[in-house]
Structure 1
Amino acid sequence: MINLKRIHHVAYRCKDAKETVDWYQKHLNMELTVAIAENEVPSTKAPDPYMHIFLDAGMGNVLAFFEIPNSPDMGRDENTPQWVQHIALEVEDVDALVAAKNDLQALGLDILGPVNHGVFKSIYFFDPNGHRLELAANTGTTEQYDELKRVASLMVEEWSKTKIAPTHAAWLHELDD
């Protein structure tokens, strides 16, 4: 049986490694911890130079990016809505979320939210590569999270048969802002 410890890193593509490092340092206070560059892909041996950067997202979480200059320009899956693919990062509480929104707006970013998701609130914005970012602050109780866990499998099973949103957790959208 596999026993996972945590996510080692999550990697995305970037247009420019230096611009990406600078942006994440300035806007999200993330530290560059590792940079790896090769002229050949280690796993495939393909001759394809790249820069692979690793940023500290706190508590052992790592967000990584690849700049691959010999590939066609970055795009996105046009069949997937922009709101679906995103990187969500947690902040301490709602006060920290509001402060982050104010700080990011002062740096010229367009921010959506806070949006109330019942057991957490979020703000949304984009990095210079077009990746959607979410900052989230948990607001739920232990009982609420326990109930969500209890109904999760039931909801997935119902969804797999009907493709209609199950109502087991509809109470999330009835909570006050």
Structure 2
Amino acid sequence: MTFASALQGVHHVAYRCRDTKETVEFYQNALGMNFMLAISEDRVPSTKEEDPYMHVFLDAGNGNVLAFFEIPNSPPMGRDLNTPAWVQHLAFKVENMDSLIKAKAHLESLGLDVVGPTNHELFQSIYFNDPNGHRIELAANTSTPEMLQRLNQLAPQMLADWTASKRTVHHAAWLHEKEFSQ
């Protein structure tokens, strides 16, 4: 058994938030997540540093958990200014395109600016920001098994070519050029 085969999925993903109550309410109202639990301590268990915090956990569905830390004694939140804002994001899967369109209408009814749907050929997505500035994506899969199989076969060569050149590789250009025949 390799280590990878021992993995059973993601336990939780944690982000920082500015205001715990505002963040919990946003995820409850915007995405229907259930607030599962909260932990607050004066010391960080792993490092033993004194740094009071509130750590909350939300049910993102299917055993997936989204967590946030509010750490009031740290400098204000920021982001890596050397990374474009569109790069770092959290994507949630929705059932289908109908669910995606309904989610967009719901989010817009809450006054959120929503981009999309954006067609990625394998899936379509909408994008918006939470109150902390974290970019959130909702995605509805639209791929076929054949598309995914072809992309899986191309992946090792694409990685090798990218690593060698650090230039765009076009092995999967068919995906956006609609050259894939089904």
Task: Give the shorter-chain TM-score range.
Answer: over 0.9
Structure 2 matches for 1:13-24, cutoff 5 A? 13-24=16-27
- Using the size of structure 1 for normalisation, the TM-score is 0.97
SS at match of 1:73: coil
Percent identity over paired residues: 60
Q: Hey, which bits of structure 1, 4+ residues long, moved more than 2 A?
A: none
Supply the AA of the counterpart residue of 1:156.
L
Deviates more, 1:154-163 or 1:164-173: 164-173
Q: CA RMSD in A?
A: 1.0
Structure 2 matches for 1:2-151, cutoff 5 A? 2=3, 3-151=6-154
* Higher strand proportion (structure 1 or 2): 2
**1:50-74 CA distances to partner (integer Å, 9 max, x unpaired)?**
0111111100011111000000000
SS at match of 1:83: coil
Structure 1 unpaired stretches of 5+: none
Residue-pair matches, total: 176
Supply the AA of the counterpart residue of 2:32.
N
SS at match of 2:174: helix
Contact 1:86 1:131 survives alignment (8 Å): yes
- Using the size of structure 2 for normalisation, the TM-score is 0.94
Structure 2 unpaired stretches of 5+: none
**In 2: Cα distance, 1:135 partner to 1:50 partner:** 29
